[in-house]
Amino acid sequence: MNRGVDSRRLATEIAKEWRDSGTESDVVEWVRHLPRSEWQERFDATVAELRNLVSILRPQSDETLLPFLSGESIAVPIQEIEEGTIEPGKRAEVLRPSEEWAPIEIMQSDESVGTVEGSHTQDVLAILQMGMRLSTELDVENGSPILRLTPLEPEQSVG
């Protein structure tokens, strides 16, 4: 786990936690799929270490940002708060986190129904910070809940 991690202590702690988890995925994928909100406590990481970890574990933006900027819809996996709470095909509201390491909250009908966590958080934040008009709705793909983000032309209405 030392690839690009500036802190040897952090790399060692991550490797230890990964071994203890008994997962079959590789260490990088394991960390990518952990909620970012757990990283600081779980790895006893400083803010600088967390920033470094985000920068090296972030998936290639080409997978998310480039299709979106080209006008395509993108699907981002979400963690459903409680199974069966999302209403597929209905509009969703995406709330920017109030704290740096908090997950992105997804609301539907004024209720919190899920979060964007892990490897897609930075790309979704980048899209939100662009200030582009976009449509956001929840759906289910292959049995898993997703947030679909669709860029809108200026004359299109949010749906």
Task: Tell me what pLDDT residue 53 has.
Answer: 83
Domain ranges of the chain: 8-57, 63-151
Render pLDDT for 78-93 as a digit per residue (tens, 0 to 9): 988 888 889 999 999 9
Task: Tell me what pLDDT residue 1 has.
Answer: 52
* Confidence grade of residue 157 (pLDDT, cut at 50, 70, 90): low
User: Minimal CA–CA distance to 85: which of 109, 116, 120?
Assistant: 109
Task: Tell me what pLDDT residue 16 has.
Answer: 92
Looking at residue 20, its amino acid is D
> Is domain 63-151 classified as CATH 3.30.43?
no
- According to DSSP, the residues that pair with 95 across neighbouring strands are 105
pLDDT tops 60 at residue 151: yes
The model's pTM = 0.64
